[in-house]
């Protein structure tokens, strides 16, 4: 890959340097493999390939318009879509389940190293879910809350309790459509049943279940994951840190945590601060230990502990190519199976930690049983022991990092907006009603080798804040913005529109708020619900001037997130398409037809500038409907004004 090609693939300087180094070091990365895979299968891309039974695989073409069983293209595409949504919901929800089980162990006093760190979060959740608290100890309350949470997974008939956290009107819409989900596990099993050969063939019925399953995520497993994580590890509050590969240091032992679950990474943060461990590192000739994160595990420990972020999804291999990583500890989701191959070129050890997620070439250390703090210390010592195996000739850590502020949980935003004694969303609602803030955009999702990494994320974010749109972010998108220096208040002064700038200055927040990992997209719904409850901006989520955007998404989880946003009444812009183009009916239902039901739909817009225009249009439509778009405040620019700008 020559220099020019590298520049087409990644945006930030650190990634450019490392991708070039990969060529010099003869390391194959996802960027090379994306080239090898270049002519990606058109049947797969359009969703028309069915391999659900062994009469097939069947592929739909004009000459072969039906599968052997007679399945139409609509059935096949809808079935494939439902299975993807179920994959995403399952990933988030199973993550949630693990945290809930951990909470139970902690409350039973069986998890050394952990504790209920945020009793306020526990009490708040107990209130929301109607758990008796009067005169009861935190552990007792927690155990009852765990029962409620476990029931969200196992319930067979009743609908999810978490749904009741949504605005009343939205709940009524779900009720009328008959898409209120029952237990998370049951809905996933039902999805697999419905998509089995010869069961559900009505594309609309299948898609309806896709939306139902997505609700088990956003208003189920993911919400439960965020709540339980806050109880165990603390509700995030604004915290300073840094992002990009330059957070690693030449003279320290560098340990990266990568994946999604906070259970181990949180304890690792404790382990690296242990005086005995620090001594151990010194004795090995290192100046100290640097713990940093990749992907959403990074976001979890960033939000709560200010642990720096080494990179987002497409930087996971590039981080190893610095030659300065002693150990990369992976758990679940978004960890490429290529990591041990890349690591084999250097001294880096890849350690997998959960029995449900093993990778060939990685050493496996189970940290679920026994004393996690001891296990964490053991891993850190093992990384320190590996320090001596570095090959100095292969080390090159890019200098690039950017400062950031993260940690904007809904609680934190409320507090920032209203102060400790009057914590509320009122000032935000007022700013929207007065047109100082046009609306809110939740920009979320991944990086994708189909596009230049970070580019769409960053163009969109910058253009929206220029136009007075407050941006909420999670996941790898938030890391894109962090690397570009957009997660600090100062940037507001530089590029935000006047109205947004005034609000940010008055409140002391950046115009781009980092709200956490991808399961924390439920926090965006929570924030939107607060806006509705605060009053003045309609009585449903679909009335609020808010949109969701997934510019560079790639995972099934992102599809599920998109679906629960739409089902919640929030329009979603996609930067790259679903695998549904093969069915005119499915495609048009998702991008248009479902609006009649939810008041929102998907919009595929592959150009970031066009996406900006559509978002502004969507926000203005909502504002018009609310009657808050006063003409005098909408200045139209003529050529002279434009030149002056
Ligand atoms: Ni979300 Fe987080 Fe990143 Fe995408 Fe993967 S890490 S859960 S799926 S790639 S944003
Ligand atoms: Fe072919 Fe029908 Fe079997 Fe799918 S379910 S592989 S379309 S025969």
Is 117 within a domain?
yes
d(CA 199, CA 209): 13
Enumerate residues lining ligand 1, CB below 6 A.
260, 295-296, 313, 334, 445-446, 475-476, 517-518, 555, 557-558
By DSSP bridging, strand 239-243 and strand 402-406 are antiparallel
Do 385 and 305 belong together in one domain? Answer: yes
Q: How close is the Cα of 505 to the center of ligand 1, in Å?
A: 31
Does the beta carbon of 43 lie inside 6 Å of ligand 2? no
Tell whether the model's pLDDT for residue 179 goes beyond 90.
Answer: yes
Q: Judge whether 253 lies within some domain.
A: yes
End-to-end CA distance of the chain: 39
Residues 434 and 297 in one domain: no
User: How does residue 369 score in pLDDT terms, banded at 50, 70 and 90?
Assistant: confident
Do residues 568 and 494 share a domain? Answer: yes
Check if 69 has its Cβ closer than 6 Å to any atom of ligand 2: yes
Same domain, 541 and 572: yes
Same domain, 455 and 378: no
Using the 3D structure, point to which of 371, 394, 417 is the last residue of a domain: 394
Is there a single domain that holds both residue 382 and residue 443? no
How confident is the model over 29-69, as pLDDT tens digits? 999 999 999 889 999 999 999 999 999 999 999 999 999 99
Q: Which of 236, 118, 116, 313 is nearest to 516 (CA)?
A: 236
In a domain, 316, yes or no: yes
23 and 100 inside one domain = no
Please indicate, yes or no, whether residues 135 and 164 belong to a single structural domain of this protein: yes
Q: Would you say the CB of residue 72 lies under 6 angstroms from ligand 2?
A: no
d(CA 139, CA 611): 48
Token pair 């010194």 is found at 282
Sign of CA dihedral 570, 303, 410, 214: positive
Q: What share of the chain is helix, strand, coil (3-state, %, to 5)?
A: 55, 10, 35
Element (H, E) at 515: none
**Claim to verify: residue 615 and residue 479 sit in the same structural domain:** yes
Ligand 2 and 51: CB distance under 6 A: yes
Whole-number average pLDDT of the chain = 96
Tell me, in angstroms, the distance from the centre of ligand 1 to residue 94's CA: 15
CA distance 410 to 571: 21
Q: Ligand 1 centroid to 421 CA: how many Å?
A: 36
Condensed to tens digits (0 to 9), the pLDDT of residues 456-505 reads 999 999 999 999 999 999 999 999 999 999 999 888 779 999 999 999 99
Assess whether 466 and 615 both reside in one domain. yes
The whole-number pLDDT of residue 491 equals 84
Q: What is the distance in A from the centroid of ligand 2 to the CA of 178?
A: 28
Residue 68 neighbours by CB distance under 10 Å: 12
Contact 215, 174 (CB under 8 A): yes
Q: Give the confidence band of 636 by pLDDT, cuts at 50, 70, 90.
A: low
Q: E strand or H helix at 255, and its extent?
A: strand 252-258
Question: Residue 67 Cα, ligand 2 centroid: separation in angstroms?
Answer: 5
Q: What is the H or E stretch that residue 215 is in?
A: helix 203-216
The ligand 1 atom nearest the CA atom of 555: 8
Query: Rounded CA gap, 414 and 238, in Å?
Result: 12
Quick check: CB of 593 below 6 Å from ligand 2? no
Interatomic CA distance for residues 308 and 291, integer angstroms:
7
Extract the tokens encoding 165. 């956290």
- CA-based R_g, the chain, Å: 24
Provide the residue range defining the domain that includes 594: 407-626
How far CA 44 is from CA of 33, 554, 580, 629, in Å, comes to 18, 14, 9, 44
pLDDT value at residue 422: 84
Contacts of 266 (CB under 8 A, 6+ apart): 232, 233, 300, 301, 304, 305
Q: Is 198 in the pocket of ligand 2 (CB under 6 A)?
A: no
117-125 own/partner pairs: CB under 8 Å, 24+ apart: 117/231, 117/232, 117/233, 117/234, 118/230, 118/231, 118/232, 118/233, 118/234, 118/235, 120/235, 121/227, 121/230, 121/231, 121/234, 121/235, 121/411, 122/231, 125/227, 125/231
Residue 637 has pLDDT above 60, yes or no: no
């Amino acid at each position: 890959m020559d220099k020019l090609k590298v520049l087409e693939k990644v945006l930030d300087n650190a990634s450019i340097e490392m991708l070039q180094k990969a060529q010099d070091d003869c390391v194959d990365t996802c960027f090379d493999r994306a080239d090898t895979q270049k002519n990606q299968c058109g049947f797969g891309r359009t969703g028309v390939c069915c391999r659900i039974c062994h009469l097939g695989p069947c592929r739909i073409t004009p000459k072969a318009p039906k599968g052997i069983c007679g399945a139409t293209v609509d059935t096949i595409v809808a079935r494939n879509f439902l299975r993807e949504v179920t994959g995403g919901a399952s990933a988030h929800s199973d993550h949630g389940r693990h945290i809930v089980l951990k909470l139970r162990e902690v409350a039973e006093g069986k998890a050394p190293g952990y504790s209920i760190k945020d009793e306020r979060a526990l009490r708040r959740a107990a209130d929301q879910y109607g758990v008796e608290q009067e005169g009861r100890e935190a552990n007792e309350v927690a155990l009852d809350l765990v029962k409620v949470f476990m029931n969200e997974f196992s319930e067979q008939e009743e609908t999810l309790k978490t749904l009741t956290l949504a605005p009343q009107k939205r709940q009524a819409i779900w009720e009328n459509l008959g898409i209120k989900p029952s237990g998370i596990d049951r809905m996933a099993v039902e999805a697999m049943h419905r998509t089995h050969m010869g069961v559900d063939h009505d594309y609309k019925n299948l898609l309806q279940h896709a939306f139902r399953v997505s609700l088990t995520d956003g208003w189920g497993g993911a919400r439960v994951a965020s709540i339980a994580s806050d109880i165990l590890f603390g509700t995030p509050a604004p915290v300073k840190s840094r992002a990009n590969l330059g957070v690693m240091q030449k003279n320290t032992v560098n340990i990266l945590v990568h994946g999604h679950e906070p259970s181990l990474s949180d304890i690792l943060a404790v382990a690296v601060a242990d005086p005995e461990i620090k001594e151990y590192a010194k004795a090995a000739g290192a100046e100290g230990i640097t713990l940093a994160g990749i992907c959403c595990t990074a976001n979890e420990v960033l939000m709560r502990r200010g642990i720096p972020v080494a990179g987002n999804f497409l930087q996971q291999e590039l981080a190893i190519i610095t030659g300065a990583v002693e150990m990369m500890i992976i758990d679940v989701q978004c960890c490429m199976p290529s990591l041990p191959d890349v690591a084999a070129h250097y001294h880096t050890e890849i350690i997998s930690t959960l029995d449900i997620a093993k990778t060939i070439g990685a050493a496996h250390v189970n940290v679920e049983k026994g004393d996690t703090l001891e296990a964490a210390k053991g891993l850190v010592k093992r990384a320190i022991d590996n320090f001596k195996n570095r090959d100095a000739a292969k080390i090159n850590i890019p200098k690039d990092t950017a400062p950031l502020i993260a940690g904007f949980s809904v609680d934190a935003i409320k507090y920032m907006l209203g102060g400790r004694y009057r914590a509320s969303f009122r000032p935000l609602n007022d700013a929207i009603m007065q047109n100082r803030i046009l609306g809110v955009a939740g920009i979320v999702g991944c990086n994708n080798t189909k596009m230049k990494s970070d580019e769409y994320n960053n163009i969109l974010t910058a253009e929206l804040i220029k136009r007075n749109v407050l941006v909420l972010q999670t996941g790898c998108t938030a890391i894109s913005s962090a690397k570009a220096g957009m997660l600090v208040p100062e940037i507001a002064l530089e590029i935000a529109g006047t109205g947004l700038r005034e609000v940010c200055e008055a409140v002391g927040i950046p115009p781009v708020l980092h709200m956490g990992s991808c399961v924390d997209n439920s926090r965006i719904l929570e924030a939107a619900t607060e806006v509705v409850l605060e009053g003045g901006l309609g009585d449903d989520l679909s009335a609020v001037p808010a949109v969701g955007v997934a510019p560079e998404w790639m995972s099934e989880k992102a599809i599920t997130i998109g679906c629960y946003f739409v089902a919640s009444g929030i329009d979603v812009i996609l930067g790259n398409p679903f695998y549904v183009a093969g069915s005119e009916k499915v495609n048009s239902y998702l991008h248009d037809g479902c609006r009649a039901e939810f008041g929102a739909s998907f919009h595929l817009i592959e150009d970031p500038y066009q996406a900006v225009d559509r978002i502004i249009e969507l926000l203005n439509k909502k504002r018009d409907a609310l009657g808050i778009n006063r003409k005098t405040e909408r200045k139209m620019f003529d050529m002279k004004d434009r030149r002056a700008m």
